[in-house]
Amino acid sequence: MNASKTLIAVLALAAVGGLGYVAGRGSPAVSPGLSAAGSAASAVAAPKARKLLYYRNPMGLDDKSPVPKKDQMGMDYIAVYDGEDEEQAQPGTPGGAGQIRISTEKVQKLGVRTEAASRRLLGRTVRASGRVEPDERRMATIAPRFEGYVERLHVNVTGQPVTRGEPLFEVYSPELVSAQREYAIAMQGVQAMKAAGGEAQAGMKQLAESALARLRNWDLSAEQVEALVRTGEVRRTVTFRSPVSGIVTEKKALQGMRFMPGEALYQVTDLSSVWVMADVFEQDLALVKPGARARVRLNAYPNQVFDGTVTYIYPTLKAETRTVPVRIELANPRQLLKPAMFAQVDLQVGSQKPVLTIPDSAVIDSGTRRIVLVQLAEGRFEPREVKLGERGEHYDEVLEGVGEGEKVVVAANFLLDAESNLKAAIGGLGGAAAAPSAGRAPGAVGHKAQGTVDALDAAAGTVTLHHGAVETLQWPAMTMDFKVANAALLKDLKPGVAVSFEFVERKPGEWVVTSLTPAGAAAAAPPAKDGATPMPAPAPAPKSGHAGH
């Protein structure tokens, strides 16, 4: 029994020793796994340096550079590393070069809207100021061609309406009386020479015809000449009548005054049709054509619109105002339009056939070129340079760069540039971009801050924030007004709420909030879908050192 127990003990010890040996020999098989895990951890701790391939154009143009540089808008070229060039495929395809990739959540947050390029009649209104003037073709001046005296006035006030043929005034002229007597004597001689020879009779007739022609050249009316021929009676005064129906717009004649040949005594104007002389600016002149419709408004009749037609574009330009007079003809049957009235003119101009157009809000104009953001897919946008033609009221004709049916970003396009970290893309709306501020990440265009809501206006899309210091702009704590990129950002906000927010400068002096989160929501928010680290809950805004901005 003892022998069997001893044998069992020996076998057990041998088994334990064998297991120990196997375990000792098996440890190298496990160590490679542990070594790999340690290597992976080491790799995370010290990432491998990427190989720089080249720098590409920030707006997606086919332009590469082996060294850092800036484009014409002052934007830095973007570095492309080994492995990224495969992702950067051809422009125009998802994942193409120069594309802007934004998550759907951010697209909705920024309030991005798109509209398809389409064909339409490109209407536009050219606005100009003008003044009412009489139609020069309907003005008549009464100026005797002889010297004389005003004997009697039939129309004695300016502004009096007269009809064609109505007596205006009577004049006495010694020259006119002498000419009438000469004609009367010549006619008597013709009668007396009937029995004389033909040569004497012909000479007397020639004398009478010369005297009659002289009277006619002095603007005697046909009735007065006929009466003189019929009766031979010399009249002391001659009556002048209105040649047109209209208004006496000028009266210089006074009873008893002496006048000289050619002196204007009366002016009568027909105001049933008038002109409006509109001063069109030089840059709009190419759009205005004769025959264009015009709508005229006057301060005297704010609720009325008068329709007219462009009849003539003057060939001269006023150097002082850089404008060209454009004549518009209007009917004035009720004579509401008075000469010298000021008028506001809207000229309807535009293309005669449909052209390919995009909204003018889609264009980012740098001054040297024009860029639009084309939506290729959900959350993917491509910047393209476009060539524009005529400009309409809210749309521009596009000649190159965008095809019919392609969707372009018409709202929040500058915010897309900011989110894509295209340096100073926002500055492209107003000029070259400034250098990054101290403490600001290279290439970043947005700024982060924490503060408290002082006031908000949902209708105007503005919020007043008392915020802490902003390191990227070297701002101290202050209270200032911001615009919001989307009215939905103001939902559920009220004064006194602590918030974390991000903002950008859309144009000099105009700051726009792109993200605004209450402090409690920011603390509890999960990690962002695009991999960004959520902002921590903000500390209370500083109470000292603030100033109005």
One-character DSSP codes across 457-499:
ETTTTEEEEEE--BGGGTB-SEEEEEEES-GGGGTT--TT-EE
pLDDT of residue 344: 95
Q: What percent of the chain has pLDDT over 70?
A: 73
pLDDT of residue 414: 63
Q: How confident is the model at residue 168 (pLDDT cuts 50, 70, 90)?
A: very high
Residue 196 and residue 287 share a domain:
no
Looking at the domain assignment, is residue 88 inside a domain? no
Comparing 218 with 370, the larger pLDDT belongs to 370
Q: How confident is the model at residue 207 (pLDDT cuts 50, 70, 90)?
A: confident
Looking at the domain assignment, is residue 322 inside a domain? yes
Task: Indicate if the pLDDT at residue 320 is higher than 70.
Answer: yes
Q: How confident is the model at residue 229 (pLDDT cuts 50, 70, 90)?
A: confident
pLDDT of residue 543: 39
CA distance 39 to 23: 24
pLDDT of residue 346: 93
pLDDT of residue 280: 94
pLDDT of residue 6: 44
- The CATH number for 473's domain is 2.40.50.320
Task: Indicate if the pLDDT at residue 536 is higher than 50.
Answer: no
Comparing 2 with 259, the larger pLDDT belongs to 259
Residue 241 and residue 341 share a domain:
no
pLDDT of residue 30: 40
Q: How confident is the model at residue 59 (pLDDT cuts 50, 70, 90)?
A: low
Residue 259 and residue 176 share a domain:
yes
Comparing 422 with 154, the larger pLDDT belongs to 154
pLDDT of residue 36: 38
pLDDT of residue 32: 40
Task: Indicate if the pLDDT at residue 436 is higher than 70.
Answer: no
Of 240, 263, 286, which residue constitutes the final position of a domain? 263
pLDDT of residue 410: 86
Mean pLDDT, residues 136-153: 92
Q: How confident is the model at residue 523 (pLDDT cuts 50, 70, 90)?
A: very low
Task: Indicate if the pLDDT at residue 58 is higher than 80.
Answer: no
Mean pLDDT, residues 274-296: 92
Residue whose C-alpha is closest to residue 271's, from 135, 164, 168, 140: 135
Task: Report the domain count for the chain.
Answer: 4
Of 32, 47, 62, which residue constitutes the final position of a domain? 47
Looking at the domain assignment, is residue 535 inside a domain? no
Mean pLDDT, residues 373-385: 86
Comparing 288 with 95, the larger pLDDT belongs to 288
CA distance 322 to 525: 59
Residue whose C-alpha is closest to residue 406's, from 437, 379, 381: 381
Residue 231 and residue 153 share a domain:
yes
Residue 344 and residue 323 share a domain:
yes
Q: How confident is the model at residue 101 (pLDDT cuts 50, 70, 90)?
A: confident
Q: How confident is the model at residue 520 (pLDDT cuts 50, 70, 90)?
A: low
Mean pLDDT rounded to a whole number for the chain: 76
Task: Indicate if the pLDDT at residue 434 is higher than 60.
Answer: no
Of 350, 365, 397, which residue constitutes the final position of a domain? 350
Looking at the domain assignment, is residue 436 inside a domain? no
Comparing 56 with 373, the larger pLDDT belongs to 373
Q: Domain range for residue 463?
A: 446-524
Looking at the domain assignment, is residue 101 inside a domain? no
Which range has the top average pLDDT, 80-84, 442-446, 500-504, 523-527?
500-504
Residue 257 and residue 279 share a domain:
no
pLDDT of residue 13: 41
Residue 474 and residue 515 share a domain:
yes
H-type helices in 387-480, by residue range?
413-419
Looking at the domain assignment, is residue 414 inside a domain? no
Instruction: Report DSSP letters for 66-114, one per residue.
Output: SS--B-TTSPBPEEEETTHHHHSB-TTSTTBTT-EE--HHHHHHHT-EE
Looking at the domain assignment, is residue 294 inside a domain? yes
Which range has the top average pLDDT, 96-100, 176-180, 288-292?
288-292
pLDDT of residue 164: 92
Mean pLDDT, residues 494-517: 84
CA distance 135 to 329: 8
Mean pLDDT, residues 439-468: 78
- The CATH number for 298's domain is 2.40.30.170
Residue 209 and residue 156 share a domain:
yes
Q: How confident is the model at residue 534 (pLDDT cuts 50, 70, 90)?
A: very low
Mean pLDDT, residues 431-457: 62
Q: How confident is the model at residue 223 (pLDDT cuts 50, 70, 90)?
A: confident
Q: Out of 30-39, 254-263, 289-298, 348-357, pick the least confident.
A: 30-39
CB distance 394 to 383 below 8 Å: no
pLDDT, tens only, 177-196:
888 888 888 877 777 777 66
Task: Indicate if the pLDDT at residue 400 is higher than 70.
Answer: yes
Task: Indicate if the pLDDT at residue 524 is higher than 80.
Answer: no
Residue 257 and residue 278 share a domain:
no
Residue whose C-alpha is closest to residue 171's, from 153, 204, 149, 156: 149
Comparing 304 with 437, the larger pLDDT belongs to 304
pLDDT of residue 57: 74
Where do we find the tokens 């959350």?
A: 379
Mean pLDDT, residues 124-149: 92
Looking at the domain assignment, is residue 303 inside a domain? yes
Residue 285 and residue 212 share a domain:
no
Task: Indicate if the pLDDT at residue 81 is higher than 80.
Answer: no
Residue 324 and residue 287 share a domain:
yes
Cβ-count burial of 381 within 10 angstroms (0-12 exposed, 13-18 middle, 19+ buried)?
A: buried
In this structure, the dihedral spanned by the alpha carbons of residues 330, 331, 336 and 340, taken in order and rounded to 10 degrees, is 40
Residue 327 and residue 224 share a domain:
no
